[in-house]
Amino acid sequence: MTDLQPLVIVNNLVKHFPVMRGILIQRQVGTVRAVDGISFFIAPSETLGLVGESGCGKTTAGRTLLGLYPPTDGQITIDGHNLRKAHGPTMMAIRRKAQIIFQDPYASLNPRWTISAIIGEPLRVHHLISSEAERTDRVRELLRLVGLSPSHLNRFPHEFSGGQRQRIGVARALASDPKFIVCDEPISALDVSIQAQVVNLLEDLQDRLGLTYLFIAHDLSMVRHICDRVAVMYLGVIVELAARDELYEHPLHPYTKALLSAVPIPDPKKDRARRRTILAGDVPSPLNPPPGCRFHPRCPIAVEKCHQDVPEWREVISGHWVACHLV
């Protein structure tokens, strides 16, 4: 899969947010380094998982990747188009081919719009329909595609359950016929019984439409189920990236090992027998990240070099990248 020309290429992506203080006269007092130089690629029809603790920069990376946040530095290429140099029609072409499914199905839908208006808006913006009848037919088709009844097109979001609203969000993302979709924790706000249905829907749509996903999530078990490769993010940087089974069976970075040791195992005997890695302390502030390796204040095996030198991002074996002095 990764032998194909990548659909998405991210090179040294940086996104910083200024911290301002003052009422009449504001001045910058710091910088939140939300994303601080990450690089990866995604091949056509591939699903890349992006995992890490809350606040590590996953959502910011996904939104910056689509241009919802202007990048501070770095290069983003989607389907051959350089996002940072795109303007006017080129930017509209990128936006048509790259969409997002938001985390919260309650907040991401306009409560005053009908489902027909919500799903039909991308068709109007990108001039994909020529008449009202054509728009209605396309909305009905999209509702069927995500497993909802076409008779619901004149209802409002509050008349649907959480899982149904997320399906509406999926239909809206599919309306412009995209190639690439950022799935920003699309199941974290749903009941466990509904999560599997939404994930199965995403997998089915990928098979039928040839979609490419960046799947941002907390649930490592679900990530292993749906993703082809997995990138582990910590405090604005990616610390490890590898094929799904390689990462889960042979993790190299201490942070990856700690994350995987926290995944529940259904067998009580195996769960009691395994060795857990308990991290001390909290994630440092992105306002003032530690020098050297950003994980060293919590790393159980850190040495003096980890406190001073930033680890090199290197390929240890084919397709398995890690940033750690001790690997």
In the DSSP assignment, the letter for residue 79 is: T
Q: Are 254 and 277 in contact (CB under 8 A)?
A: yes
DSSP element (H, E) containing 29: strand 27-42
The label of the residue with tokens 């990764």 reads: 2
Residue type, 163: G
pLDDT digits (tens, 9 = 90+) for 215-239: 999 888 889 999 999 999 999 999 9
In which element (H, E) is residue 229 found?
strand 229-234
- Whole-angstrom Cα distance, residue 185 to residue 208? 22
Do the beta carbons of residue 236 and residue 220 sit within 8 Å? no
The C-alpha atoms of residue 234 and residue 215 are separated, in whole angstroms, by 16
Strand 320-323: give its sheet, edge to edge.
98-101, 180-184, 212-217, 47-51, 229-234, 237-243, 320-323, 313-317
**Banded model confidence at residue 2, pLDDT cuts 50, 70, 90:** very low
CB 172 within 8 A of CB 121: yes
pLDDT band at residue 50 under the 50/70/90 scheme = very high
Selection from 289, 292, 296 nearest residue 312 by Cα: 292
CATH 3.30.70.1520 fits 8-109+178-191+203-323, yes or no: no
Beta partners for residue 40, in sequence order: 10
Specify whether the CB–CB gap between 184 and 62 falls below 8 A: yes
Q: What is the mean pLDDT of residues 191-205?
A: 90
- Average pLDDT, rounded, for the chain: 91
pLDDT by residue (tens digit) across 145-191? 999 999 999 999 999 999 999 999 999 999 999 999 999 999 887 88
Angle at 266 between CA 264 and CA 271, to 5 degrees: 60
Question: What 3-state DSSP class applies to 158?
Answer: helix
Distance CA 265, CA 220 (A): 12
**Least reliable range by pLDDT among 53-67, 161-175, 270-284:** 270-284
* pLDDT for the residue numbered 88: 83
What is the pLDDT at residue 190?
84
| H helical segments located in the chain | 58-65, 89-97, 115-125, 132-145, 162-174, 192-209, 220-226, 244-249, 254-261, 268-273, 304-308
How far apart (Å, rounded) are the C-alpha atoms in residues 300 and 280?
A: 8
* DSSP collapsed to 3 states, 234-302: ECCEEEEEEEHHHHHHCCCCHHHHHHHHCCCCCCHHHHHHCCCCCCCCCCCCCCCCCCCCCCCCCCCCC
> What is the reported pLDDT for 164?
94
Name, in order, each residue with C-beta under 8 angstroms of 37's C-beta and a sequence gap of 6 or more.
Answer: 12, 13, 14, 74, 236, 237
| Residue that is written with structure tokens 């009941």 in the block | 191
How does residue 270 score in pLDDT terms, banded at 50, 70 and 90?
low
Question: How many CB atoms sit inside 10 A of residue 286's CB?
Answer: 22
